[in-house]
Amino acid sequence: MCGATQGGPSLEGIDLSKEAVIQGVVTKGDEPVGNAYVRLLDKTGEFTAEVPTSATGQFRFFAGPGEWTLRTLAPRIDPVDRSVVAQVGSVAEVVVAV
Amino acid sequence: MSRENALVTAQWVEDHLDDGSIVLIEVDEDTTSYDKGHIKGAIKLDWKTDLQDPVRRDFVNKEQFEQLLGGRGVSDTDTVVLYGGNNNWFAAYAYWYFKLYGHDDVKLLDGGRKKWELDSRELVADVPSPEAKTYTAKDQDLSIRAFRDETVEAIGVKNLIDVRSPDEFAGRLLAPAHLPQEQAQRGGHIPTAGNVPWSKSANDDGTFRSDDELKQLYADAGLDTSKDTIAYCRIGERSSHTWFVLHEILELDNVKNYDGSWTEYGSLIGVPVALGDEPGEA
């Protein structure tokens, strides 16, 4: 996890005290990947949600507290899994390198 | 309907890009994704501003639907191929919606936008401007749409399939995890409902699983194919996807989508609600 200023999209307008946010950016080398899909899997591996990355490679989920896995799909790469822990009131920032 | 009639592959779409009798329509949860690039010749429908009444919580009426599609250059005799992101979540909703208004020849691109992108197929920026056509819709086919009273009466009688994620089913989350959670209604599910998350019917690349895998999935959840079935989710989109699987791919009769879904049911006074991971008693 990196600092709050890097990675995910702006949090302006979101009441963080009620949300367990997981967000970040998908990168390949030094470039953001704008045509990736990030899937959020729960602690049993069950699919919970999926978002396409933005043009700048960013993604965000409003999860519940607990352990989650991010599975990233992008053209011509094998899926990349990253585990992450979410807590209400905090933002888990993840950089996924593919 | 059958898998062969209801689904087309990405390759089939690529082979038919210049076929004038086919209308490609992108319907996405993220309504800006079309603007970032789309399949050549595709038009866009916005699930919220185009397909929902701007005032009441309901669909656009028959006349509004006719004006919408005719104005976008679609006729009721065209072959409509729908695709979208997130395993065709909202494209499947549009498919069900087209069927609700009696459009005969409608298909889903298997895997949707994600499969197309993961295959590195071409997306373009050009927005087509087709000439208006005459679109004639039929009255709503209520054999595929369930309302709240029918859903309450189905408890312990019909198959109820809750297709939300396990955390939403149990009442731990009120919305999918990529959406803010600030709903006012109660969490939980309709008693006796089985939980088969809609996403289990799709592979990672968004294509539908095989018929055998799909049959096993619903058999394991206790779906009794001799009974009528009502599928629901939060706002009726994900359950359209499951309706598509049960009614169009597996060809079960008497499957309805309860589009009011949990945002309606979970706000009703006087109805039973079950919490936790088990279906609960009637």
Are residues B177 and A76, on separate chains, in Cβ contact within 8 Å? Answer: no
Are residues B182 and A79, on separate chains, in Cβ contact within 8 Å? Answer: no
| CATH architecture group of domain A20-97 | Sandwich (2.60)
B66 CB neighbour count, 10 Å cutoff: 18
Model pLDDT for residues B34-91, shown as the tens digit of each residue:
998 999 999 999 988 999 998 999 999 999 999 999 999 999 999 999 999 888 989 9
Q: Right CATH number for B145-265 from 3.40.50.720, 3.40.250.10, 3.40.50.2000, 3.90.1300.10?
A: 3.40.250.10
Which of A19, A48, A50 minimises the CB distance to B167?
Answer: A48
Domain B3-118 has CATH 3.40.250.10: yes
What is the band of B182 on the pLDDT scale with cuts at 50, 70, 90?
Answer: low
Optimal mutation site among B32, B38, B118, B119, interface A, most CBs of chain A within 10 A? B118
What is the band of A55 on the pLDDT scale with cuts at 50, 70, 90?
Answer: confident
What distance in Å separates residue B100's CA from the closest CA in chain A?
A: 27
d(CA A59, CA A71): 12
| Annotation says B233 is catalytic | yes
Q: What are the structural domain ranges in chain A?
A: 20-97
| pLDDT at residue B197 is higher than 80 | yes
Q: Quick check: A87 and A65 in contact, CB under 8 A?
A: yes
| pLDDT at residue A71 is higher than 90 | yes
Give the count of Cβ contacts less than 8 A between chain A and B: 72
Higher pLDDT, B105 or A20: B105
For the ranges A1-15, A55-69, B139-153, the maximum mean pLDDT occurs at B139-153
- What pLDDT, on a 0 to 100 scale, did the predictor assign at position A64? 86
Contacts of B173 in chain A (CB under 8 A): 64
| pLDDT at residue A3 is higher than 50 | no
Which of B119, B178, B180 minimises the CB distance to A51?
Answer: B178
Residues whose CB is less than 8 angstroms from the CB of residue B230 and which lie 6 or more positions away in sequence, other chains included? B146, B150, B151, B154, B158, B159, B160, B161, B255, B256, B257, B258
Q: Which of A10-14, B7-11, B65-69 has the lowest mean pLDDT?
A: A10-14
d(CA B266, CA B6): 32
What is the band of A1 on the pLDDT scale with cuts at 50, 70, 90?
Answer: very low
For chain B, the first-to-last Cα distance in angstroms comes to: 33
| pLDDT at residue A6 is higher than 60 | no
Optimal mutation site among A22, A47, A81, interface B, most CBs of chain B within 10 A? A47
Share of chain A above pLDDT 70, in %: 92
* Burial of A69 per CB tally in 10 Å (0-12, 13-18, 19+): middle
- What pLDDT, on a 0 to 100 scale, did the predictor assign at position A4? 33
Contacts of B181 in chain A (CB under 8 A): 18-19, 62
Q: What are the structural domain ranges in chain B?
A: 3-118, 145-265
Can B3-118 and B145-265 be said to share one CATH topology? yes
- What pLDDT, on a 0 to 100 scale, did the predictor assign at position B181? 59
